[in-house]
Amino acid sequence: MHGTENPSQWLQRWAHLIKPNSRILDVACGAGRHMRWLAGQGHKVTGVDRNPEALALAQAFGTVVCADIENGPWPLKDQAFDAVIVTNYLWRPLMSTIVNSVASGGLLIYETFASGNETVGKPSRPDFLLQPGELLRATEALRTVAFEEGFEASPDRFVQRIVAAHFEPTVQSIRFHLRAN
């Protein structure tokens, strides 16, 4: 079942940037592979997915919300999280909602399939493949920490990945930035 495999290497690589004991949202969490790993790191994790069977497994690792986020209202309206995790999922109408769900000082870790993947496997429909630079454009309100785009082997796939921080400058951080330059 989707969501029982190991956590994303991209998430594992950048999770050290998530503040300790954070509130984390896992979008399209499946059976909770990321919830399990993040809860093991001491975080309070909420997962949202439309599959009740998958959520029955995920609920062992945190709070779960069963909702069809593509056809219904966003079930976490007016909530912000210290980190938002999205892997192997793309629904463009939700992109701004996902970005807006990152709290000030929080982090977005997003990874999914990109254009070109149709040449090596599924997903192959353009609706489910990011176009070149699309994640950068969708997250331009955030500060990019890391970005990758291109082909990856084993398994063969085309991906885009971003880690972006919701950074609101303060007088102190502006002073630091000016001194550093």
| Chain Cα centroid distance, residue 150 | 18
**Mean pLDDT, range 73-81, rounded to an integer:** 95
Residue 2 lies in a domain: no
Between 44-53, 100-109, 146-155, the lowest mean confidence (pLDDT) is in: 146-155
| Chain Cα centroid distance, residue 130 | 14
Is pLDDT above 60 for 175? no
Q: Would you state the pLDDT for residue 38?
A: 97
Residue 31 lies in a domain: yes
pLDDT tens for 119-170 read 999 999 999 999 999 999 999 999 999 999 999 988 899 999 999 999 865 5
Strand order in the sheet with 81-87: 63-66, 44-49, 23-27, 81-87, 102-113, 157-165, 143-152
Residue 1 lies in a domain: no
Residue 4 lies in a domain: no
Range of the domain at 164: 9-180
Residue 3 lies in a domain: no
Is pLDDT above 80 for 61? yes
Count of domains forming the chain: 1
Q: Would you state the pLDDT for residue 1?
A: 52
Which candidate, 137, 136, 143, 135, places its Cα nearest to that of 166? 143
Which candidate, 109, 129, 131, places its Cα nearest to that of 27? 109
- The CATH number of whichever domain residue 132 belongs to comes to 3.40.50.150
* Banded pLDDT at 5 (limits 50, 70, 90): confident
| Dihedral sign of CA atoms 120, 121, 122, 125 in order | positive
